[in-house]
Structure 1
């Protein structure tokens, strides 16, 4: 029997990071597992937001995989469907994110707003209206 596909993005963070509390405090994530380097910095952190799993991974030497900080931008926006877009925006900003686009209603039936987290990843909070 084939497993149901589950989308689990891997977000790259700079080498030497020790603290990823933004994801816990700003997004309500739970850290499921952590793999640390010998010096205590994070190699991989596996997190979950209400069952939606994602990984933080330190930058590798792979030239196609890099943290947004390296190029001062991101090639992807992580969409997260939530019940209360405004509450998620406020929580993320309080924890250190900056506003990318303020929350607003769109004529195609969504309320959306996005923030840039401390590592440069763009998170779009959205709900159907």
Structure 2
């Protein structure tokens, strides 16, 4: 079993270009509708798949700007967080949380793409015992 995000954007064609530039996504296929919208654009991001779709308000398929945000964060595990973040920013993403080392053992940043979706960029640095992560989280959120 696997899970593949299917995200809704305002401008799936532009979004496919952005994800190619920002995250080196490879476009696998697209399915247009007669009115010119895209029902699906299937992308490969290394070993993962991502589907994009234009908004279809008549079916209540809406993008983050239409609904006032998103409750989902998409996470990318990368070998070089600084380079991945710089590439995404050059492509048009905006920083939400700057790159920093975390108590859970990663270099971590968070960004928002031009379509309202939120992305984590994470580079594993070292393993941290679960008990230490839980204790550090308790301190951070108290």
The TM-score bracket by the shorter chain reads 0.7 to 0.9
| Structure 2 match to 1:85 | 81
Question: For 2:105, which of 102, 109, 112 is the aligned residue?
Answer: 109
Does the residue aligned with 1:66 lie in a helix, a strand or coil?
coil
Q: Which has the larger radius of gyration?
A: 2
Q: How many equivalent pairs are there?
A: 123
Structure 2: runs of 5 or more not aligned: 126-142
Higher relative contact order (CA 8 A, sep 6+): 1
Say yes or no: does 1:23 pair with 2:14: no
Over residues 22-77 of structure 1, what are the superposed CA-to-partner deviations in whole Å (9 max), with x where a residue is unaligned? 000111100001011224332210001112001001223444x4211112311110
More helix by share: 2
CA contact (8 A) 2:12 2:53 kept: no
Which segments of structure 1 move beyond 3 Å, counting only runs of 4 or more? 60-63
Alpha-carbon separation, structure 2, partners of 1:70 and 1:85: 30
- What is the root-mean-square deviation of aligned Cα atoms in Å? 1.6
TM-score scaled by structure 2? 0.79
* Structure 1, 96-105 or 65-74: larger mean CA deviation: 65-74
Say yes or no: does 1:7 pair with 2:27: no
TM-score scaled by structure 1? 0.86
Alpha-carbon separation, structure 1, partners of 2:54 and 2:37: 9
Question: For 1:126, which of 119, 122, 128 is the aligned residue?
Answer: 122
Over residues 63-92 of structure 1, what are the superposed CA-to-partner deviations in whole Å (9 max), with x where a residue is unaligned? 4x4211112311110011111111111101
CA contact (8 A) 2:12 2:41 kept: no
